[in-house]
Amino acid sequence: MSFAALWGSLLPIGRDGLSGGYRRYAWTPADAACRAWFTQAAAERDLRVLTDRNGNLWAWWDPPGPAGPAGSKAVVTGSHLDSVPDGGAFDGPLGVVSSFAAVDMLRAEGRVPVRPLAIAAFSEEEGARFGVACLGSRLLAGAIDPGAARALPDAEGVTLAEAMAAAGHDPDGIGPDDDLLAAVGAYVELHIEQGRALADLDAAIAIGEQIWPHGRWRLEFTGRPDHAGTAALADRHDPMLPFAAVVLAAREAAAAHGALATVGKVTAEPGAVNAVSARVSGWLDARGPDERVLQAVVDDVLAAARDAAAGHGVGLTAAAESVTPAVRFDPGLRERLASSLAARGIRAPVLPTGAGHDAGVLAARVPTAMLFVRNPTGVSHSPAEHAEPADCQAGVRALAAVLEDLACG
């Protein structure tokens, strides 16, 4: 099946008709439909499907004949199928669809793996439902306590354990899977570029160099609910005001330190137009070129939050929801990608990124690398995210080249 047909079969799943964006949240019906799509794509290719204990999907292309020599570890590619609220079609799915298409390309060229080759789709990469980014790969790698993960609530108070159980997955089994990881020799994730460096460089493909350290912090301001038409300004304890100060402080701190900081989510309770709020919760997303800079940004924002909360007689709690340290992709694997592409005349600059990926989490346990596919505007986490069909095809060709050299050579 061509890339276009495979891509087209995934496109309708979880798409919101009004915004044109995707709402594919972990362990929901849209997620189940994505899982069914993955299973069917694997079955059409005679790939052996496994759902690991953490709900990540794997499609295995086993080498023919008896098991390979000891130490013949798997080459794994893939990405994720979940989305941010109203996300684009490409962030995650491009890597999964390209992986299946790369397998098709290798087979059409008569290539056969000499070591296991797998396509993975990691669960809850965006953390859109349970707040922790890369939850599936974090659990797999032992980077989060399984008990704490089971208790993570979504916006309605449904826990991860409850949502998994309702979707037919046993939450008691989640946690590190050292045997599975020990069988993986390399993970290569193809992803749409989330920036426009490639457009500026006039190249279709890049090789990932590093991921900025980044994280999410939840700030909860608790005030005194009151009447908007009668409570005197001097008497108010309005949690919206220190929250507003935080939004501005985040922007200032990011600019001052050469970093990025975003407040993209806020809830006000009880949410009445004509009342001072009882509670305002806001989420800070901060990212920096190194950990010292990231910490400086977060320190500045938290200090501003404390000052503003105290000034308005409002309570404040702040907690990190997920923090990912700086990641440098494996230099040896990166070199192998570079020579595979160079040998086929594919120009691929090396780029850093501020976006998080399962490859970044897994880098602590196995050699990982990334390929990026040009995004003409650089816009991502938005329905406007885009890659041209010719660039998607170039991505499949590049991934197939890398998989051929790593798994079939």
Residues that bind ligand GLV (CB under 6 A): 126, 133, 355-356
Shortest Å distance, C-beta 381 to ligand GLV: 7
AA letter at 356 = G
Q: Whole-angstrom Cα distance, residue 19 to residue 23?
A: 10
Shortest Å distance, C-beta 260 to ligand GLV: 10
95 binds, among ligand GLV, Mn ion, none (CB under 5 to 8 A by kind): none
92 binds, among Mn ion, ligand GLV, none (CB under 5 to 8 A by kind): Mn ion
182-to-75, 179, 296, 299 alpha-carbon distances in Å: 12, 5, 37, 38
Instruction: Establish whether the linkage from the previous residue to 270 is cis, with ω within 30° of 0.
Output: yes
Task: Check residue 189 for interaction with Mn ion (CB under 5 A).
Answer: no
Closer residue to ligand GLV (CB): 298 or 406: 298
Closer residue to Mn ion (CB): 211 or 241: 211
AA letter at 299 = D
Backbone angles phi, psi at 261, to 5 degrees: -150, 140
356 binds, among ligand GLV, Mn ion, none (CB under 5 to 8 A by kind): ligand GLV
Which residue's beta carbon is nearest to the bound ligand GLV? 356
Closer residue to ligand GLV (CB): 219 or 355: 355
Closer residue to ligand GLV (CB): 133 or 373: 133
404 binds, among Mn ion, ligand GLV, none (CB under 5 to 8 A by kind): none
What is the per-residue DSSP string for 235-284?
Answer: G---THHHHHHHHHHHHHHHHHHT-EEEEEEEEEES--TTEE-SEEEEEE
Comparing CA positions, the residue from 404, 395, 390 lying closest to residue 343 is 404
Shortest Å distance, C-beta 78 to Mn ion: 11
Hey, which residues between 91 and 120 contact Mn ion (CB under 5 A)?
91-92
How many CB atoms lie under 10 A from the CB of residue 103? 25
Binding-site ranges for Mn ion (CB under 5 A): 91-92
